[in-house]
Amino acid sequence: VQMDAISDGFFLPHVNPHRHCRAAIMCSNRCHQWWFLPETRKPVPSLQGDRRQKLPVTECGIRVSWLLSWAKVVEQKLGPDATTADVCAKFVIPSTRSKKCRYVDIIEPVNVGAPQYFLSHTWSMRFATLMEVVAQRLRNEPDSFVWLDICAINQNKYEDKGELQADDVSHLSSVVRKAKSTLFCLDEKGKSLTRIWCLFEIWHTVKAKGSAGLEILTYQMRFLPNLFHEIDVSKAQASLESDRVRILAEIAADIGYQQLSLNIKEALVESADREAQQALALAQQHVGPSTGSTPTDSPALAAAAACTKAAFVAHAARQYERAGEYDSRALDLNTKVLGLEHPDTIASMESVGVSLSDQGKLKEAEAVKREVLALQAKVQDPLADFRALNGMRNLAQNLLSQSKYEEAEAMYRQVLVLHAKVDGPEHPAQIHSMINLVHALNGQGKRGEGEAVQRQVLELQTKVLGPDHPDTTRMMDALAVNLIIMHKREEAETLQRQVLQLRTKALGPENPDIIYSMKDLIRNLVGQGKHEEAEAMKRQVLELQVKVLGQEHPDTVYTLQSMRNLAPGMKQQAPRKPAPSKPAPKPALTKPAPTATPAKPAAKPAIGKLSTSVTGQRGTSVTGQRGTSVTRQRGSSVTGQEGTSVTVRKGTSVTGQKGTSITGQKGTYMPISAGPKATTSKK
């Protein structure tokens, strides 16, 4: 057998373990001979011919037992942290460079065959982790074949041309259709959900076989809820831009980005649900451990793991009741097999508490989380502090959600002490707990203490994340709000201007967040009586809103209406000029008896014609025709016809017909007939 493409030290994995043969290699330049025991001596086909090169890509699966043995040797040479990309660049390509062939072309033919499983993974995933999840899933199928891209596709053409070959796209879809199922391998950080190749492979799997053809392989899924809703095919990345462009073009021409993103989410949920149901059915057929003296391979534990996975996926999809059901099943199974005080059982109980919180059952969740803390105190292991920290954080969050601020404050102070021991003083989780402590303090009215903690958080975030990080500017905003409540408006203004400057630099001048920051600053300026400056900034906001949001957007309309009311407010608060001196009044004359003059008529209803502006005083009845702008004071009655724009004060009663735009302040009563458009501020 031609072996010159195989590096020294990598021979043994290529020996067929099923022939029970021993081999010795005598090397002389490019001449190699195999010495077999007499009973196993058989002619081995040469790899020099074209037969192996012509093997269809759909037949290039690798035997699982061989793959796992090869992976161990690769790990010894490259280390446990080597990624799949490292294995390809540092082993696969060097081993095949001289022949410009696929790696399967230098593997013994008996270990190559039609794949039952297609491995979908990201090259940034640790290769050892990939092999671990494959070994876990296929532990009972050592002679099955899996399709692994770095071995089944000629990687030398990527090295030469640096771009995807057009035929590889069709090859991948063909392999996906032919394989029994696709094993979607999620890495530790969930990057698989952000890579165009992985989403492309899920798409073709679901397209050919439905969600039944997709299996999720992962045993660390706590990141999933944060990533699930961010799945967006149009934003998926690839190592090569040419790959991304070509695949996106195919998706756009077929199903579209939005629909594919939705289909992928549904497929992930259905896949996890189906796996859990199958595992539960299998567990019901067995009692106790399946093999050995320990229950680690019990079908019940396998079912518990599948239920935990299904719960995480359901939680990510915001199907909280389903997540709670699976968490409860996992807890029951772990309790029966492992006992109540086993760390896995406690972890399942902790998940049950989280699911109850997600369903709004806070009191039930509190009871479960207190039980978790009590059990964790009994278990002593290297991860005891870490587990206790998670349990305390979950309970503190629950107390905060129930507005039990005093208990939450006490719990968060304990959490911070444990954070310093487990994570260190600058860990993001500690910063998050400090922010929650601020909420607990503010809830009790301890805003001075809350301000002090906020300043500590801001200092940490500036140091760890940088001054222009979104979390840092968000904390500056929160501190400014707290300062305003404590009547420290000038200091708050300084912070708000810093936030506006930092966000403008980071996001650009036309980002919607810039508009919101400007509005916050405007409210503070008005609170300080700086009306002229507030009016100037409001004009900037209006200009941005028209440009970014559009002239018909409710926020734009509200800003326009508030600007119309700003000038009268300024006049009312402006210092009054001294009244001119009047001549002394003449002596009063005796009035004659009153004649029968008609009484002074009541104020006539103000009727605004098209494109007119009407201001009604207290007690006035105002009717605005189409196109009229009506500003109302307290106590008046307003009827707006179609197309009328109405701004009202507290206590006003407004009836708007179809097409009326109404902006109401606090206390406004607005009975609106079918069809009107009502825009109400937070007040």
**pLDDT tens readout for residues 275-290:** 899 899 999 887 554 4
pTM given for the model: 0.63
DSSP 447-513: HHHHHHHHHHHHHHHHHHT-TTSHHHHHHHHHHHHHHHHTT-HHHHHHHHHHHHHHHHHHH-TT-HH
Residues in the chain: 683
Judge whether 160 lies within some domain. yes
Judge whether 462 lies within some domain. no
Span of 108-112, 567-571, 600-604 with lowest mean pLDDT: 600-604
Task: Examine the fold and report which residue of 230, 254, 278 is the final residue of a domain before the chain moves on.
Answer: 254
Judge whether 453 lies within some domain. no
Q: Which residues of 513-552 are buried (b: 16+ CB within 10 A; e: fewer)?
A: bbbebbbbbbebbbeeebbeebbebbeebbebbeebbeee
Degrees, nearest 5: CA angle 227-231-237? 100
Task: Examine the fold and report which residue of 232, 254, 276 is the final residue of a domain before the chain moves on.
Answer: 254
> Whose structure tokens read 């021993």?
22
Read off the tokens for 552. Answer: 């018909």
- Residue 417's Cβ-side half-sphere holds a number of Cα atoms within 13 Å equal to 8
Judge whether 413 lies within some domain. no
Element housing 609 (H / E): none
Sheet holding 677-680, edge to edge: 613-616, 629-632, 645-648, 661-664, 677-680
Task: Examine the fold and report which residue of 254, 279, 295 is the final residue of a domain before the chain moves on.
Answer: 254
Residues 17 and 65: beta-carbon distance below 8 Å: yes
Judge whether 335 lies within some domain. no
Question: What is the SS3 assignment for 28?
Answer: strand
Residues 623 and 605: beta-carbon distance below 8 Å: yes
Question: Residues with Cβ < 8 Å from 543, sequence gap 6 or more?
Answer: none
Residue type, 405: Y
Across residues 610-616, what is the average pLDDT? 41
Span of 60-69, 252-261, 473-482 with lowest mean pLDDT: 252-261
Judge whether 537 lies within some domain. no
* pLDDT of res. 240: 82
Plot region of 381 (φ>0 → left; ψ -120 to 50 → alpha; else → beta):
beta
Question: How far is CA 665 from its chain centroid?
Answer: 36
* pLDDT of res. 632: 43
Structural domain span for residue 613: 606-680
Span of 372-381, 394-403, 562-571 with lowest mean pLDDT: 562-571
Element housing 638 (H / E): strand 637-640
- Write the pLDDT tens digit of every residue in 587-611: 444 444 444 444 444 444 443 443 3
Judge whether 283 lies within some domain. no
Is the pLDDT at 676 greater than 70, yes or no?
Answer: no
Judge whether 180 lies within some domain. yes
Cα(372)–Cα(366) distance, integer angstroms: 10
How are beta strands 145-147 and 61-63 bridged, if at all? antiparallel
Number of domains present in the structure of the chain: 2
